[in-house]
Amino acid sequence: MKKTIAMILTLALALCCAAPVLAEEAMKLSAPAGAPALTVATLAVENPENYTFLDASTIGAEFQKNEADFIIAPINAGAKLFKAGKSTYRLAAVVTWGNLYLASQKEGFSLDSLEGAELTLFGENTINASVVLAALEQKGITPSAVHYLAGAAETQAELLSNPEAIVVTADPAVTAAKMKNEKVQTISVQELLKETLEMDGYAQAGLFVRKETAESRPEEVRAYLSAVQESAGKARSDVAAVAEAAVALEILPNAKVAAAAIPGCNIRYAAASEAKAEIEKTAGIDLSQYGGEVPADEFYYTAE
């Protein structure tokens, strides 16, 4: 009898040990490749299967798929979709504060060089273009014509191929251009905003959380936001670690470009509820990019 009981206990113990341990499903995040992805680079390099880096043009579709727990995207894009009822993602944090630069190979390039000159921007009818034109207007600068290309990579190519061109591009593309051609000179759009509108950059990209995830896994969401905040902080405190992760993830081509470009990407984590005034000031530059009005209170995620 004792042997039988012992055998039963042994078998039960074996079955318990063999039973699978149920783990919480990992959080999934999608982001445009480039500067926004650097916010989570040190997290993504540890568990790349949980991170998807996309072409910026597909971010709107990513919201409407409603699959990723978190999305990093232009704040205005998320706000427009939310207002239109096409997204339930709420803004949890601002993570980038502007990475735009006027650039040219022209000798002695300065703001005065733009007066009456042709300017090539990227992203027609986007908040980035609106911000640049507003900053120039505040400085009293009126280009003779404004042309548009699709993205920062295209304006970078124009910058490098045309010695007379004046373009707007963005980090990390502008840093790579300066490394390729020492004649390239830049003017920070963020500095112009600070001088004219007293803005410390502008609320550019944000971290959005899926409604269903926020409601069903609130503690995990809070923990994840803390992890993203720590990862974003490394873009200032440990640039080498972020650069190494960015290269491993193929976000940036090499460590030298990455280390030089990361500071200019203006990565800084700020809870959305605490950055509301800055978000509304950015929206005020061009309300059409936000659906015609500043985001409603329910657009902002607040931890329960």
224 and 172 housed in the same domain = no
Angle at 98 between CA 94 and CA 102, to 5 degrees: 175
Q: Which residues pair with 162 in a beta bridge?
A: none
70 and 215 housed in the same domain = yes
189 and 123 housed in the same domain = yes
Among 182, 197, 212, the domain boundary falls at 197
214 and 72 housed in the same domain = yes
| Rounded Cα distance, 105 and 107, in Å | 6
Tell me: the pLDDT tens digits for 264-304?
Answer: 999 999 999 999 999 999 999 999 999 999 999 999 998 76
CATH number of the domain to which 263 belongs: 3.40.190.10
Range of the domain at 147: 100-197
Tell me: the pLDDT tens digits for 100-147?
Answer: 999 999 999 999 999 999 999 998 989 999 999 999 999 999 999 999
91 and 224 housed in the same domain = yes
284 and 237 housed in the same domain = yes
Q: Give rounded-to-5 percent helix, strand, coil for the chain.
A: 50, 20, 30
230 and 175 housed in the same domain = no
The pTM of the whole model exceeds 0.95: no
56 and 113 housed in the same domain = no
Among 165, 197, 229, the domain boundary falls at 197
Into how many domains does the chain fold? Answer: 2
Cα 191 off chain centre by: 19
Angle at 210 between CA 86 and CA 234, to 5 degrees: 125
Q: Which of 293, 278, 252, 291 is nearest to 95 (CA)?
A: 278
| Rounded Cα distance, 122 and 103, in Å | 13
pLDDT of residue 253: 86
| Rounded Cα distance, 138 and 117, in Å | 17
Q: What is the radius of gyration, based on Cα positions, of the chain?
A: 23
| Rounded Cα distance, 252 and 34, in Å | 7
139 and 166 housed in the same domain = yes
- Kindly state the tokens that stand for 16: 């318990």
> By the 8 A CB rule, do 106 and 113 touch?
yes
Is 6 inside any structural domain?
no
114 and 42 housed in the same domain = no
pLDDT at 259 exceeding the cut of 70 = yes
Among 197, 224, 255, the domain boundary falls at 197
Is 125 inside any structural domain?
yes
